[in-house]
Amino acid sequence: MQLSNTEEQLMEHLWKLERAFMKDLLEVYPEPKPATTTIATLLKRMIDKKFIAYNLYGNSREYYPLVKKSDYFSKHVHGLIKNFFNNSVSQFASFFTTATDLSEKELEELKKIIDVELKKKKK
């Protein structure tokens, strides 16, 4: 299941805050801030999708994520590879390294990451 762009934006705030009440979430938005009802609707949809949950303290709800940011991102990347690169990680890597205008330094950093992973696989 996926989040809409507005839900994703709210989820980003919740990942950073880790736990937050409605007022905390509203505070992190830039001006013009969304209406409280808008945030409440987004939170309800995200609860229904099982991305977040809350603890009830009197009439106040403290929201927290149920899905880790890394897990959500990983699922997105796998979907992108499957849908746009014929499920080929090497096609994705080729596109990523040639079409994104990476600097020499960035390419060297990627090479180091790949070398470390190759050493792990060989053990």
Indicate whether 55 and 75 sit together in one domain.
no
Indicate whether 79 and 114 sit together in one domain.
yes
Indicate whether 74 and 112 sit together in one domain.
yes
Indicate whether 41 and 76 sit together in one domain.
no
Indicate whether 57 and 75 sit together in one domain.
no
Indicate whether 50 and 81 sit together in one domain.
no
Pair 34, 25: CB distance under 8 Å: no
Indicate whether 31 and 54 sit together in one domain.
yes
Reading the block at residue 73, the tokens are 């991102």
Q: Which residues of 73-92 are buried (b: 16+ CB within 10 A; e: fewer)?
A: eeeeeeeebeeebeeeeeeb
Number of domains in the chain: 2
Question: Taking the model in full, what pTM does it have?
Answer: 0.74
| Domain range for 42 | 5-65
Indicate whether 49 and 24 sit together in one domain.
yes
78 pLDDT band (50/70/90 cuts)? confident
Q: Rounded mean pLDDT of the chain?
A: 91
80 pLDDT band (50/70/90 cuts)? confident
Reading the block at residue 34, the tokens are 């969304």
